């Protein structure tokens, strides 16, 4: 099954993707994670991308489309994949359709998670991620089992550089102007599944995601 997780920053795409991996056994393809890996490696691409990421703006379409195209070549994508954070513009969605067509595939479901902006700001400013295993926490809504320590035992709980209030507000503007048009794009293709995430626990949202995917 080929799935897109769509929604604003902080909607819970990564949180739901981690739960879905266990149930579906297909990989999560997160362009944000791929870009952060390039930043950490200090590649030329990473250096350029970081400027956009820190400003809360989108990295150019060519760069992310190229990353996804390469990723699709890996054998673990054969059974399906869930895209998290891609596509983010209509141009990316159109490029994705072309890539999938060449592979003889199509998107089965687009799961849209909608959350109010003020809740998104609270979620993102409290987000912490484990540097060792990638687990996602929130200081108040989803705290690690022991203070400052991940379930995997690591104490490397990190806050992303772009998870501050100023950058978050810019990312929300970017979402509303450049990514929200994808809602009508996919509604027109008949595979959009809408989920309201405001005030719902991660488990509550997961139940709805499974229903939407008929799992
Ligand atoms: P995204 O990948 O869409 O940016 P994340 O899955 O990283 O979002 O979640 C953003 C933050 O919100 C994290 O700190 C996460 O723990 C928290 N979070 C995720 N889902 C919920 C929820 N349903 N209720 C409250 N907080 C949530
Ligand atoms: P979140 O879901 O919390 O907004 P991501 O990890 O998906 O965060 O993205 C972080 C940043 O990486 C974005 O603000 C943007 O600068 C860049 N980025 C990620 N995915 C894309 C994409 N598909 N197109 C352009 N830029 C992207
Ligand atoms: Zn961990």
* Atom number, ligand 1, closest to the C-alpha of residue 16: 6
The answer to whether position 61 is within a domain reads yes
pLDDT in tens, 108-131: 999 999 999 999 999 999 999 999
Q: Phi then psi for 114, rounded to 5 degrees?
A: -110, 130
The answer to whether position 158 is within a domain reads no
* Atom number, ligand 1, closest to the C-alpha of residue 199: 24
Instruction: Locate all alpha helices (DSSP H) within the chain, ordered by sequence.
Output: 13-24, 31-41, 44-54, 61-72, 90-102, 117-125, 165-174, 181-189, 202-212
Q: Is 5 in the pocket of ligand 2 (CB under 6 A)?
A: no
Closest residue by Cα to atom 25, ligand 1, is 141
What is the residue range of 66's domain?
2-116+165-212
pLDDT for 187 equals: 98
151 is annotated as an active-site residue: no
pLDDT for 196 equals: 96
210 is annotated as an active-site residue: no
Count structural domains, the chain: 1
pLDDT for 98 equals: 98
What's the rounded Cα separation, in Å, for the pair 77 and 75? 5
Q: Is 142 in the pocket of ligand 1 (CB under 6 A)?
A: yes
What's the rounded Cα separation, in Å, for the pair 186 and 171? 21
Kindly state the average pLDDT of the residues 13-37.
97
Kindly state the average pLDDT of the residues 188-196.
97
pLDDT for 17 equals: 98
Q: Is 87 in the pocket of ligand 1 (CB under 6 A)?
A: no
pLDDT for 49 equals: 98
The answer to whether position 130 is within a domain reads no
160 is annotated as an active-site residue: yes
CA triple 183-185-189, angle to 5 deg: 110
The answer to whether position 152 is within a domain reads no
71 is annotated as an active-site residue: no
pLDDT in tens, 55-99: 999 999 999 999 999 999 999 999 999 999 999 999 999 999 999
pLDDT for 97 equals: 98
pLDDT for 57 equals: 98
The answer to whether position 142 is within a domain reads no
The answer to whether position 27 is within a domain reads yes
pLDDT for 159 equals: 97
The answer to whether position 148 is within a domain reads no
> How large a percentage of the chain has pLDDT more than 90?
100
CATH code of residue 38: 3.40.50.300
**Helix/strand/coil for 102:** helix
What's the rounded Cα separation, in Å, for the pair 45 and 47? 6
Kindly state the average pLDDT of the residues 190-210.
97
The answer to whether position 208 is within a domain reads yes
Mean of pLDDT over the chain:
97
What's the rounded Cα separation, in Å, for the pair 99 and 95? 6
pLDDT for 210 equals: 98
Query: pLDDT-derived band of residue 16, with 50, 70 and 90 as boundaries?
Result: very high
Q: Is 31 in the pocket of ligand 2 (CB under 6 A)?
A: yes
């Amino acid at each position: 099954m080929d799935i897109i997780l769509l929604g604003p920053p902080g909607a819970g795409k990564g949180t739901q993707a981690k739960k879905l991996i266990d149930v579906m056994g297909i990989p999560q393809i997160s362009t944000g994670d791929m870009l952060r890996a390039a930043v950490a490696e200090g590649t030329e691409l990473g250096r350029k991308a970081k400027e956009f990421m820190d400003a809360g703006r989108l990295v150019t379409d060519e760069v992310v489309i190229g990353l996804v195209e390469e990723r699709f070549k890996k054998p673990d994508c054969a059974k399906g994949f869930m895209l998290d954070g891609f596509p983010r513009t209509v141009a990316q969605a159109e490029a994705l359709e072309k890539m999938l067509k060449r592979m003889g595939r199509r998107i089965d479901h687009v799961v849209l998670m909608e959350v109010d902006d003020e809740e998104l700001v609270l979620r993102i400013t409290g987000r912490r991620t484990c540097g060792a295993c990638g687990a996602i926490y929130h200081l108040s809504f989803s705290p690690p089992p022991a203070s400052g320590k991940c379930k995997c035992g690591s104490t490397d709980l990190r806050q992303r550089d772009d998870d501050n209030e100023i950058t978050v507000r810019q990312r929300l503007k970017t979402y509303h102007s450049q990514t929200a048009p994808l809602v009508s794009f996919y509604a027109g293709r008949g595979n959009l599944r809408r989920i309201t995430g405001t005030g719902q626990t991660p488990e509550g949202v997961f139940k709805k995601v499974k229903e939407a995917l008929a799992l």
